[in-house]
Amino acid sequence: MGQGILQIALFCALVVAVVPLLGGYMARVFSGEPTFLGAVLGPVERLTYRLLRVDCAQGQGWKAYARSVLVFSLAGWLVLFVILRTQALHPFYTGGRPAVPWDLSFNTASSFVTNTNWQFYGGETTMTYFSQMAGLAVQNFLSAAVGLAVAAALIRALAARRGGDAPGQTIGNFWQDLVRATLYVLLPIAIVAALVLVSQGTVQTLGGAAGGLARGPVASQEAIKQLGTNGGGFFNVNSAYPFENPTQLSNLLEMFLILCIPASLTATYGRIVGNRREGWAIFGVMALLFVVSVAVVFAAERHGTPAQHAAGVVGANLEGKDIRFGTTDSALWTAVTTVTSAGAVNAALESLTAIGGLVPMVDMAYGESVFGGVGTGLYTMLMYVLLAVFIGGLMVGRTPEYLGRKIEAREIRLVSLAVLATPLIALAGAGAALATTYGAPSIHASGPQGFSETLYAYLSQANNNGSAFAGYTGVTFADVVGGLAMLAGRFVPIVLVLAVAGSLAGKRVAPAGLGTLRTDTATFGGLLVGVVVLVGALTFFPALLLGPVVQGLTGRPL
């Protein structure tokens, strides 16, 4: 057990070490400052703007920015849908893959455009190499870049020192943010990570199957799958498969890739708004909730279940786990992948103990606020920050302010909708699946287990996570409702966050006074933790009681 704790501590130390370095670099990228990659990528960036006919000097108000996000994402969805429906025409090795059925194409296109990467299919048996590379891997880059762009727009709105009276105050240019996020952040790190994965034995080839084993261009997709918190695997068993995740070093690297950008964005935020303590305070809240998640699932899996003990199985719960990684790396990965929106797995989540399986559900109940996806984690946590500032202001009887801007009724209405949209979508989808005959064919188990499978499916899709309990299968109803849940769970909060950014960008900044609530202290951090946990509990506690908690009380494994 001591070795496992040391392993977890080492991983956490690596994440903390990269935060100021990568965070500072991304602050320069999104502030338009020179970077060491400018000499190489600058000409490519300028050529891209010319091809897109983008004038970077022309800023966008929040409505124009939101329209650009939606139009770009719709175009990406249509291209990916067509790619999946025309697999018989694809170049490279196809393995005789037919066109993907319309309902699965709808679900998959919605999944990858929304950074969810939910998979109702086996990648090695369903997709051609062209679909994997030109369709899925491309969207892994672009969906992550969209999240970064929206986070950059919100940071920019909060950092503006002078608000204007005009409601059309600009929050940046979406196309510039998109291009810079892709060229300067995602692409360089993904290239280096892919090379390291290849050195460890991750497969990278355009040749066909060998010895009956499927192969393909895996390493290039694996790198951006983890870095962009996408999570969809080239193979059906994801990062539990040696061709995707061959060694202990590759396992550590992949977990690190998942967390490095979401964690570092807190430092990016602190630098751009001119208060690094603010960024570290937000990081501290995220880190605290993450460490609690790791500790609970680690302890649960080390202890096993009462049913296993009654059967004479003493020690850790190794069901559904790769022996190469054991309970420590499986537990750590479970927390990493569900506090973010990655959804990648190196063990079977449905084989976790009841309490261990409760952890990923609770992590997703936080609504991507604990590190979260690339970009989405920061802007979601900032919604909770604004909500905590409002509550704190009410407690002391003062007008709530954040970074010198008054938080008024309009902002709180938008923040409340942004925070509650995802839980409503998840619960509505799960309710429709459980209460109708259309959803029954997807539910494999009965009782609390079947309830947990269904709740997890829609909780994962609405939160754009993509991980799943294996028992929940895809039929037309699940494909369509799940696809709609992913689209709504992604773009409704984005539009609301950009509306908040537009509202705040138009406010005048007042200097801090004696009665101003400090938001870079441990006291405010405690308040913020309470708000995040309370919102998650109020929205999902009854549902969690009916699933994993009841399962745990029966003594049966989840």
pLDDT in tens, 241-268: 999 999 999 999 999 999 999 999 999 9
Residue matched to tokens 């694809």: 90
The Cα–Cα gap between 271 and 267 comes to 6
Residue 510 scores a pLDDT above 80: no
Dist. CA 313–CA 326, nearest whole Å: 16
Is residue 294 within 8 Å of 332, Cβ to Cβ? yes
Residue labelled with tokens 């290849």: 198
256: number of Cβ within 10 Å: 18
pLDDT band at 551 (very low <50, low <70, confident <90, very high): low
Examine the pLDDT at 421 and tell me if it is beyond 50.
yes
Question: At residue 269, does pLDDT exceed 50?
Answer: yes
**Which single residue is written with the structure tokens 């979601």?**
380
pLDDT given for residue 166 in this prediction: 42
Q: What angle do CA 36, 39, 42 make, to 5 degrees?
A: 105
How does pLDDT run across 326-354, given as a tens digit for each residue? 888 999 999 999 999 998 999 888 788 87
Q: With CA atoms as reference, report the closest residue to 231 among 139, 365, 301.
A: 139
**Residue 270 to residues 66, 155, 511, 557: CA-CA distances in angstroms?**
24, 9, 18, 43
Segment among 30-44, 219-233, 301-315, 409-423 with least mean pLDDT? 301-315
Q: With contact defined as beta carbons under 8 Å apart, do 217 and 133 qualify?
A: yes
Helix (H/G/I), strand (E/B), else coil: 36: coil
Distance of CA 217 to CAs 117, 133, 211, 255, 541, Å?
17, 8, 17, 20, 42
Q: Give the DSSP H or E segment for 405.
A: strand 405-406
Contact (Cβ atoms closer than 8 angstroms) between residue 293 and residue 363: yes
By residue count, the chain amounts to 558
Per-residue pLDDT reduced to its tens digit, 521-549: 899 999 999 999 999 888 888 887 777 77
> Nearest Cα to 230, choosing from 447, 375, 104, 353?
375
pLDDT tens, residue by residue, 474-492: 788 989 999 999 999 999 9
What is the mean predicted confidence (pLDDT) over 225-240?
91
**Highest mean pLDDT out of 62-66, 117-121, 231-235, 503-507:** 62-66
Name the nearest CA neighbour of 200 among 242, 229, 240: 242
What pLDDT score does 313 carry? 60
Convert the pLDDT of each residue in 434-465 to its tens digit.
Answer: 888 888 888 776 777 778 888 888 999 999 99
Pairwise pLDDT comparison (197 vs 4), residue with the higher score: 197
Q: State both tokens at 40.
A: 């190489």
Q: Average the pLDDT over 381-391 and give the result.
A: 94
Q: Where are the domains of the chain?
A: 2-554
Find, among 336, 413, 411, 321, the residue nearest to 373 by Cα: 336
SS3 content of the chain, % helix, strand, coil (to 5): 65, 0, 30
Higher pLDDT, 556 or 53: 53
* Residue 306 reports pLDDT greater than 90: no
What single letter denotes the amino acid at residue 163?
A: G
**Model pLDDT, residue 308:** 62
What is the CA 484 to chain-centroid distance, rounded? Answer: 18
Rounded to whole angstroms, the Cα distance separating 45 from 366 reads 36
Residue 287 has pLDDT above 90, yes or no: yes
- Asked whether residue 507 carries a pLDDT value surpassing 80, the answer given is yes
pLDDT of 511 over the 80 cut: no
The tens digit of pLDDT for each residue in 36-45 reads 999 999 999 9
Mean pLDDT of 305-326: 71
Given this model, what pLDDT does residue 323 score?
Answer: 84
Cα Rg, the chain, nearest whole Å: 23
Among 5-19, 108-122, 171-185, 389-403, the range scoring the smallest mean pLDDT is 389-403
Nearest of 535, 278, 263 to residue 418 by alpha carbon: 535
Instruction: Of 335, 329, 305, 306, give the one whose Cα is nearest residue 317.
Output: 305
**Residues in Cβ contact with 254 at an 8 Å cutoff, skipping those fewer than 6 apart:** 197, 222, 226, 239, 245, 344
Distances in Å between the Cα of 34 and the Cα atoms of 28, 29, 136, 153, 301 are 7, 7, 31, 19, 47
Residue 191: band (very low, low, confident or very high) from pLDDT cuts 50, 70, 90: very high
Instruction: Supply the mean pLDDT for the chain.
Output: 89
Three-state secondary structure string covering 317-349: CCCCECCCCHHHHHHHHHHHHHHCCCCCCCECH
Whether 144 has a pLDDT exceeding 90, the answer reads: yes
pLDDT at residue 555 above 80? Answer: no
Residue of 221, 68, 227 whose CA lies nearest to 149: 68
pLDDT exceeds cutoff 50 at 164: no
pLDDT over threshold 90, residue 167: no
